[in-house]
Amino acid sequence: METKAAEIAREQEYFDRAAKFRAEKRATLGEAARAAADPKAAARLKTYAEAAREAAGGADEAVAVGQTEDTSGEVLYIGRQLIRGDSEVLVVNWQAPAAAPYFEASHADARGLRRKRTFVCTGNTIQDFTDVVFAEIAEAVDKHLLDELARGRTGAMRDIVATIQAAQYELIREPMEQVLVIEGGPGTGKTAVALHRVSWLLFHHRDRLRPADVLVVGPTPTFVRYIDRVLPGLGNGEVELRELARLAPDVQRGRSEPVEVSRLKGDARMAGLLARALEARIGAPEPAERLLLGGRFVTLPGAEVASVLAECRAAPLPYAARRQLFRERLAQLVADRAGTAAGPDPAPALANLVERLWPPQSPAAFLRDLFGSRPRLAAAAGGDFTPEELAALYRRGADRVSEEVWSAADLPLLDELDELINGVEHAYAHVVVDEAQDLSPMQLRSVARRCATGSMTLVGDIAQSTGVWARDSWDEVTCHLPAGPVAVRALRYGYRVPRQVYQFAARLLPVAAPAAQAPEVVRDGPAEPAVHRVGLADRAGRVAELAGAHAAEGRFVGIVCPPRCRRETEAALSATGIAWSSAERGELGASVNVVGPREVKGLEFDAVVVVEPEQIVAGDDRGHRLLYVALTRTTRYLDIVCVGEPLPLSLPAGTDQDRAPNGTPATFTDRDAHRLAEHLAAQVRAAAPQAYWTDVLRQVERILGVASGEVS
């Protein structure tokens, strides 16, 4: 019987042969641009050749991820791209029908295979392989998958071609003509499945779907950077990746506003208000419009101008296009009255009339003026808004549009106006939306208008739905998307999160999402979650110590930190000399990363340090879901550093959700008093020399009125 070393050597010979043909193909593609007849054609050929070269893979990539042997003894190698030899196919594309059994075969249905082999490679050198012999298999998840999941993370999502499981493969191949919702708990691979589905659709519908026809929308810039190498690695580098906020016009961002205002702006009723307000900007002519043209006056009957205005207003075009149509028809009306030909450049008097009756608009200027005018808001309300809601929308705008600062909830409104005024710049044949469970109706409208066909893939988990538009069912999301078939498909197995970690986090589900179905976790981690209870003054230092220890072992580390702990955590990292990146700034480094509870969605790390779970819970109406997300971002190690409870199953006293009418905590215990005292002591210790502590405390007593008995 052949030894494994000899078998690896034999397989390596095959890999080397396939790599030779791949290199020849890359060299041929490199010469393609020189064959062009003119510079423009050369540029097109160069773009095509570079994309094809990247898709073909380089010398540092394995030619195949696996191999199958059917019951007749026929062997087939499966890779990311097709590789041909002189007169035979050496490696088939993973998307080809012939490769399907590699992904579909299971202990229940071997799909005609005797064996499935998965290679472990460094570059194109085979280090090892794992075989699944279907006559002997006893479990659904193979060893190679578990080994792959145990590998360290790098800050970028990897493709999963080598580890696609049968249930994932089934979703990847779902029909294109539908809204497909891929739902799954933490670590089920739903994002990777959605991206590989894009590659699958591009391969099987290349007659009507090009990479430039596909849009992938992610929740944050950090997330978009995290996934941006997956599709190019599969040969689909021209797919557009956009952060959700970047669908809107480019404006200055960062405005803060109350939660209830953000929710109101996200309501679908806002679409009607904006449309009515925009139409109200179109005026009415005078009974007679007298224009000075070429040194003489021409009078236009108001009824004729109004007729042209009404016709243009009813045209099925955006505001700006209808305005241009009005301008052209009014110029023709003037020419008919004056007995001259209508020219391309209308006289100033005519331009002024167009300006008065149909003023030009930009999304930012229009929305600033609308929010700054109570009469305009009231006129556009249409009976859909209460006076209190209109008062909440009102705000005084900046003196200049360029100085206006916009909130996150303003962005979909600006995008809605951009469509109303200018139309959709580009619509796509297929749109993918990650973390779709959190989107407001206005954000969903922003995504939906970019889908020309109704073909969409939505990714998310209701149990991880947080924010002002947290959902309890997918119906609340899909009702705002294009009409047509909707399919909700669940991923059952959790591959990424270790069993010990998930069992710990899942204790939150009865509070966070009682109806959610937990995934079946298939792997164990190297350690149980570690809880580090500390005093307030020691919290940041312990976080830095743990993160540094993980980084020293070569692990990719995420510190999930609520806003109130962020400054102290970053200061402690800097004080100890630990280099770190901030997801708040869109960074995702190779070692230690400080990430907010909302920013961490969709990311994964070798080791996660969660700071003060009680504050994460207190920071959102669905705070238990935020904590559930934070705890399930690790593939190996989980540490929790806290003064309060490591797994709060009810809201801590003193949070915004647990306050008396006068704003004070409904309950305040001795423990709460001790924690507050620790916090104040730490602030004094850090800010003032010890010699001044007594004086600072006297000043605090004076400010609180304790000494004079003013505090009861």
Tens of pLDDT, residues 476-493: 999 999 888 999 999 888
Q: Considering only 219-223, 339-343, 462-466, 602-606, which range has the smallest mean pLDDT?
A: 339-343
Tens of pLDDT, residues 211-256: 899 999 988 887 777 777 777 667 777 888 999 999 999 999 999 9
- pLDDT, residue 136, reads 59
- Does 159 have pLDDT greater than 80? no
pTM, full prediction:
0.72
Tens of pLDDT, residues 52-72: 666 666 777 899 999 999 888
- pLDDT, residue 592, reads 93
| pLDDT band of 659, cuts 50, 70, 90 | very low
CA 434, chain centre distance (Å): 5
Q: Which residues of 179-190 are buried (b: 16+ CB within 10 A; e: fewer)?
A: bbbbbbbbbbbb
661-665 average pLDDT score = 40
- pLDDT, residue 43, reads 65
Nearest to 395 by CA among 411, 406, 382: 406
Which two structure tokens, joined as six digits, stand for 88? 């035979």
| Angle between helical axes of 563-575 and 539-552 (0-180°, round to 10) | 60
How many CB atoms within 10 Å of residue 109?
A: 12
As a whole number, the mean pLDDT across the chain is: 85
In the chain, how long is the greatest CA-to-CA distance?
105
The edge-to-edge listing of strands for the beta sheet with 179-184 is 240-243, 214-218, 430-433, 456-460, 179-184, 486-491
Cα separation, 273 vs 382, in Å, equals 7
| pLDDT band of 711, cuts 50, 70, 90 | very low
Task: Tell me which of 164 and 269 has the higher pLDDT.
Answer: 269
- Does 574 have pLDDT greater than 90? yes
| pLDDT band of 712, cuts 50, 70, 90 | very low
Do the Cβ atoms of 314 and 392 come closer than 8 Å? no
Tens of pLDDT, residues 606-656: 999 999 999 999 877 788 999 999 999 998 999 999 999 999 987 544 444
| pLDDT band of 571, cuts 50, 70, 90 | very high
